[in-house]
């Protein structure tokens, strides 16, 4: 397990860079954490690290947002908080996204766990203070 500490929002960019180094060839990343843990904030910082210039926001109502990196690659950002069944995820073509080769960043993955590939990178974000977080990456 790899742990990344974020002491404040000022060093979230450095944490995103460190995370990218751990990411390696992983294409599907499941972000677990309570409401308000900072999943969207960290995903936004990670997208900025990869050169996304668009605003990164939680796709709570749209379920998925697509962003383009400065290299023209797609990053898909999912938020499954509001879905009620696996069928909803299947209906939007979730499995096609998973196997597209593009980076897929997933909030509330517990709602779609049966659909996740075996090599999904599991990430747990925990609030440790007002602006501090711990990111645990299960990469073993």
User: What global pTM score does this model have?
Assistant: 0.93
H or E stretch at 136: strand 133-138
Alpha carbons 83 and 25: distance in angstroms, whole number: 28
pLDDT value for 140: 57
H or E stretch at 64: strand 64-68
How far, in Å, are 41, 75, 95, 113 from residue 46 at the CA level? 9, 10, 23, 22
pLDDT tens by residue, the chain, 140 residues: 999 999 988 899 999 999 999 998 899 999 999 998 989 999 999 999 999 988 888 877 789 999 999 999 999 999 999 999 999 999 999 999 999 999 999 999 999 999 999 999 999 999 998 889 999 999 75
> In this structure, which CATH number among 3.40.50.12780, 3.40.50.300, 3.40.50.720, 3.10.20.30 belongs to the domain 26-132?
3.40.50.300
């Amino acid at each position: 397990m790899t742990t990344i500490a974020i002491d404040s929002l000022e060093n979230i960019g450095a944490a995103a860079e460190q995370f990218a180094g751990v990411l390696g060839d992983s294409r599907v990343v499941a972000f677990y954490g309570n409401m308000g843990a900072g999943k969207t904030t960290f995903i936004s910082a990670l997208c900025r690290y990869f050169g996304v210039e668009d605003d990164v926001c939680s796709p709570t109502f749209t379920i998925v947002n697509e962003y383009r990196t400065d290299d023209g690659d797609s990053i898909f950002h999912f938020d499954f908080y509001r879905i009620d069944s696996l069928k909803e995820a299947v209906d939007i073509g979730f499995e096609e996204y998973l196997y597209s080769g593009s980076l897929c960043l997933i909030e509330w993955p517990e709602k779609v766990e049966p659909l996740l590939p075996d090599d999904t990178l599991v990430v747990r974000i925990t609030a440790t203070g007002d602006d501090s977080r711990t990111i645990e990456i299960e990469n073993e």
